[in-house]
Structure formats: structure tokens, C-alpha cells
């Protein structure tokens, strides 16, 4: 059935936690302290499927279970296939590893000169500043180290990472990620940003964070002041389904935008969550309304225990084809595969070009109509202006 939604409605409120004082609800520390992290807690609120119970039993060996009360409210507890539920409640599929899957699917560890820093491309580094997140996504690319359920013993080392960047003048772009960098306290965030800003060769600082989506309460005025002070700080948030676009998230994006933080969104194409053109269209249009530019749509990385989320690439191409020309160009993300083993992001586009010769390119538009764009120039014969026009010009000059 086609996805439909009330475009004027934005989910808001405390839902199951209506009894809690609003001051607690709006406090990000309260949200973290009251996360749902165990089977017992989950069962207090919902009936789980057998598949989920098995997944939860395995989560301690793979990636911890944690869901903020705020995000839990977005789950339809009566629907085992709820797209929000699928993202954060473990399922048995996580315990099944396929032959092509890898623990470190992007080959990051091979390009890590100091713990927590990945330097694969000449001019930019990935700086992993924490292994914790507000909630855990069951398809996380870094599930090997995030939450430390796999005893990966990842201990982020700010000082070593900062010193590495200071001593490498070719690094002009730093991406802070993890785990989720915005889970650090204000003092630590300010420390890292001030140190990076003091490095002359660092021109571009960006943050990858799902905190605005899991914990919009964390986007406090104080945090925004830090971004203003050390800006421009660019941020990629991570929204997968239009139901995640709540009034709270919209307000958090507004606070970030007004603090001068340009916002982009990265989605992962996930089976049962957003592998549908109508869902994706609703998502990207809501993102624009929240001041967020859809940036990447990722084909899911080949992480261990992820095959139950995997979508056929042809489906992804079909979704992009359903967006391009059918909605605002700003709303169309770049569909990419992050090449397994670490080859970088490669765009995967629908093929609009029919043929290119020395003379012309022939292509089809979003409606399937064919057009021709000539590649050569054929000068027309010069034509003398009509005599009457010449006489008129002469009269005007006199
Ligand atoms: S927020 Fe990001 S790092 Fe954390 S679990 Fe989700 S995908 Fe992984």
C-alpha cells in the first residue's frame, strides 16, 4: 500500500512519559538516564516477537540495546514491522553472518595511524571521538566498536588525534564522528573544536551526528553558542524515515541553523524502513522543510549480521529515478555505495544517457522523453540586415 501521511502534522509530546515533568523531559541527562536498555524494560511497554527476543539476547555480544524515551515514543508498538522499531530493536538476523560481510567493512582500521583517527584520503581525516551513542542503530557500520559490546577495546584518544592533525599540514578537512560526538559534554566539545580551529591548515570542520534525531534535547542554546563561536561547523544528521521528523527535531534543526550550522542528511537504504519511493519522497520533502538538505542515500555497508536490512541496488536506483524531476532538485540525495574494503563513496545513478557520439548526446528526461544535445557547432550563413532597418538606424544617428 502506498505510503501516505498528514503533511501538516508533526508528532510531538511526551507520549508514554506524559506524567514526567516537562523540565525532566527536556533535559538530555534525564533522557539518557531513562533509556530503555533491557528486555524487561521493553516488555513493560510492548509485546515482543520471538525474533526480537532472540535478537535482544544476542545484542550484548554485538551492539548494545539502548533507546531514548523520546525516540521510543515514535515506535508503533502494535506493528512488528514498524520502520522505527526495525531500526532500534534487535532481531535474530543480527546473529547470522553472511560470507561477504565484514567486521570492518570499510577497511578503516588499516588506515588508522593513531587510535580513533582514520586517514585514508590525503586532505581529510575521520576523527572518532567516542564509542557511545544516545540510541543504537541495528545496522551501524561501526558496530564493531560502538557501545563496546564486542570487546573491541576502542578508547578514543583526543590528544593523540589532535597532535596527529597538527603535525599533518595536508589535512584541511576534519570529520568528527564515533559513536556520536554530541554525546560529549559541552566542555569536551569546546576543547576539541577550539584546538581544531587553532590549527591553521584545518579549513573545514564537520560533525556526523544522530543526536538531533535520538535526543533533540541535547541541542541546547549553550551548545549552539559553541558552534557559533567556532563556526562554520557543518553537520550531517541521520534521518531514515519521515516519522522521525518530529516537532522536536524540527526545532533542534532550527536552533542549529540559526547558530550558523549548515545541515545535511545521510540516510541508509534499509529493507522495510525506507526502501519505497513514496516513503523516501515524504522524507526528503520533510527534511527541506526542516532546513536540512538531503545529502547522501547510502547503500548499506556489508557489516556482519546486516543482511536482513539489505536492499537490492536496483531498488535504490528506482527510488532515485522516482525523485529526480518529480520533486525539488535540492531534495534529491546522492545515492552511493561506500566501496567494500575502503574504496570511497561511488555515486550510483539511474542511467539517463542513451548514447554519446562526437556529434551529440541523446538522453531521456524524467518522463522518459528523448532529447538531443548537439556537441558540434554549425555556423549559419551571415545575413545582411534588411535595407529598411539600415535606413532607420542611419536616421536615428543623425
Ligand atoms: S548513531 Fe551512528 S554511530 Fe551510533 S549506532 Fe547509529 S549509526 Fe552507529
Q: Which domains does the chain have, with CATH numbers?
A: 15-92 (no CATH), 109-347 (3.20.20.70), 357-398 (no CATH)
Cα distances from 35 to residues 28, 29, 177, 392, in angstroms, run 11, 10, 22, 84
Between CA 286 and CA 10 the distance in angstroms is: 10
DSSP secondary structure of 30-72: HHHHT-B-SHHHHHHH-PPPHHHHHHHHHHHHHS---B-HHHH
In three-state secondary structure terms, 242 is helix
Between CA 112 and CA 122 the distance in angstroms is: 13
pTM: 0.93
Between CA 90 and CA 309 the distance in angstroms is: 12
**In which residue are the cell numbers 508498538 written?**
77
Q: What are the pLDDT tens digits along the chain (398 aa)?
A: 789 999 999 999 999 999 999 999 999 999 999 999 999 999 999 999 999 999 999 999 999 999 999 999 999 999 999 999 999 999 999 999 998 988 888 888 888 999 999 999 999 999 999 999 999 999 999 988 888 888 777 888 889 999 999 999 999 999 999 899 999 999 999 999 999 999 999 999 999 999 999 999 999 999 999 999 999 999 999 999 999 999 999 999 999 999 999 999 999 999 999 999 999 999 999 999 999 999 999 999 999 999 999 999 999 999 999 999 999 999 999 999 999 988 899 999 999 999 999 999 999 999 999 999 999 998 998 877 666 666 566 555 44
Which residues participate in the annotated binding site? 133, 137, 140
Q: What single-letter DSSP state applies at residue 28?
A: H
Between CA 186 and CA 189 the distance in angstroms is: 5
Rounded to the nearest angstrom, the distance between the alpha carbon of 240 and the centre of ligand 1 is 12
CB of 208 closer than 8 Å to CB of 48: no
pLDDT of residue 205: 98
Q: Which cell goes with 226?
A: 559553541
With CA atoms as reference, report the closest residue to 178 among 238, 131, 145, 114: 131
With CA atoms as reference, report the closest residue to 146 among 268, 239, 62: 62
pLDDT of residue 394: 54
Q: Is residue 149 in contact with ligand 1, taking CB distance under 6 Å?
A: no
CB of 109 closer than 8 Å to CB of 117: no
pLDDT of residue 128: 95
Rounded to the nearest angstrom, the distance between the alpha carbon of 133 and the centre of ligand 1 is 6
DSSP lists the bridge partners of residue 347 as 336
pLDDT of residue 149: 84
With CA atoms as reference, report the closest residue to 28 among 185, 256, 156: 185
Q: Is residue 71 in contact with ligand 1, taking CB distance under 6 Å?
A: no
Residue 354 CB partners (closer than 8 Å, separation 6+): 362, 363, 364, 370
Catalytic residues: 120-121, 124, 133, 137, 140, 142, 301, 338, 345
Between CA 327 and CA 329 the distance in angstroms is: 6
CB of 284 closer than 8 Å to CB of 333: yes
**Other beta carbons less than 10 A from residue 202's beta carbon:** 20
First to last CA, the chain: 76
Between CA 256 and CA 228 the distance in angstroms is: 9
Q: Is residue 137 in contact with ligand 1, taking CB distance under 6 Å?
A: yes
The helix (run of H) or strand (run of E) holding residue 141 is none
Rounded to the nearest angstrom, the distance between the alpha carbon of 204 and the centre of ligand 1 is 22
pLDDT of residue 398: 45
Between CA 154 and CA 385 the distance in angstroms is: 78
pLDDT of residue 387: 66
pLDDT of residue 307: 95
Between CA 208 and CA 63 the distance in angstroms is: 19
Q: Is residue 323 in contact with ligand 1, taking CB distance under 6 Å?
A: no
CB of 136 closer than 8 Å to CB of 146: yes
Amino acid at each position: 500500500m502506498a505510503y501516505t501521511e498528514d503533511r501538516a502534522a508533526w508528532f510531538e509530546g511526551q507520549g508514554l512519559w506524559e506524567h514526567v515533568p516537562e523540565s525532566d523531559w527536556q533535559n538530555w541527562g534525564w533522557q539518557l538516564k531513562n533509556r530503555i536498555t533491557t528486555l524487561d524494560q521493553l516488555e513493560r511497554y510492548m509485546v515482543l516477537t520471538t525474533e526480537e527476543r532472540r535478537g535482544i539476547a544476542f545484542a550484548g555480544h554485538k551492539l548494545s540495546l539502548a533507546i531514548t524515551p523520546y525516540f521510543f515514543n515514535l515506535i508503533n508498538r502494535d506493528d512488528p514491522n514498524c520502520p522505527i522499531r526495525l531500526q532500534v530493536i534487535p532481531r535474530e538476523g543480527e546473529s547470522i553472518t553472511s560470507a561477504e560481510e565484514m567486521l570492518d567493512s570499510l577497511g578503516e582500521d588499516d588506515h588508522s595511524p593513531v587510535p580513533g583517527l582514520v586517514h585514508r584520503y590525503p586532505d581529510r581525516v575521520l576523527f572518532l571521538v567516542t564509542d557511545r551513542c544516545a540510541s543504537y542503530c541495528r545496522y551501524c557500520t561501526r558496530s564493531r566498536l560502538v557501545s563496546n559490546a564486542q570487546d573491541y577495546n576502542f578508547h578514543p584518544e583526543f590528544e593523540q588525534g589532535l597532535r596527529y592533525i597538527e603535525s599533518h599540514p595536508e589535512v584541511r578537512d576534519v570529520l568528527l564522528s564515533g559513536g556520536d560526538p554530541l554525546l560529549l559534554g559541552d566542555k569536551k566539545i569546546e576543547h576539541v573544536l577550539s584546538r581544531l580551529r587553532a590549527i591553521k591548515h584545518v579549513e573545514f570542520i564537520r560533525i556526523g551526528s544522530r543526536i538531533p534525531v535520538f535526543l533533540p534535547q541535547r541541542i541546547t542554546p549553550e551548545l549552539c553558542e559553541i558552534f557559533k563561536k567556532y563556526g562554520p561547523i557543518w553537520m550531517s544528521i541521520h534521518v531514515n524515515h519521515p516519522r522521525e521528523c518530529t516537532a522536536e527535531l524540527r526545532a533542534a534543526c532550527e536552533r542549529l541553523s540559526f547558530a550558523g550550522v549548515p545541515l545535511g542528511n545521510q540516510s541508509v537504504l534499509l529493507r522495510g524502513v525506507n526502501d519505497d519511493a513514496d516513503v523516501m519522497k515524504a522524507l526528503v520533502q520533510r527534511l527541506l522543510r526542516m532546513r536540512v538538505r538531503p545529502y547522501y542515500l547510502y547503500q548499506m555497508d556489508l557489516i556482519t549480521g546486516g543482511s536482513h536490512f539489505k536492499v537490492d541496488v536496483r531498488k535504490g536506483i528506482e527510488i532515485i529515478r522516482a525523485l529526480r524531476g518529480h520533486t525539488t532538485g535540492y531534495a534529491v540525495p546522492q545515492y552511493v555505495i561506500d566501496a567494500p574494503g575502503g574504496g570511497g563513496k561511488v555515486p550510483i545513478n539511474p542511467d539517463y544517457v542513451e548514447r554519446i557520439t562526437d556529434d551529440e548526446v541523446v538522453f531521456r528526461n524524467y518522463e522518459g522523453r528523448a532529447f538531443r544535445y548537439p556537441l558540434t557547432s554549425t555556423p549559419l550563413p551571415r545575413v545582411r540586415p534588411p535595407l529598411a532597418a539600415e535606413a532607420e538606424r542611419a536616421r536615428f544617428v543623425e
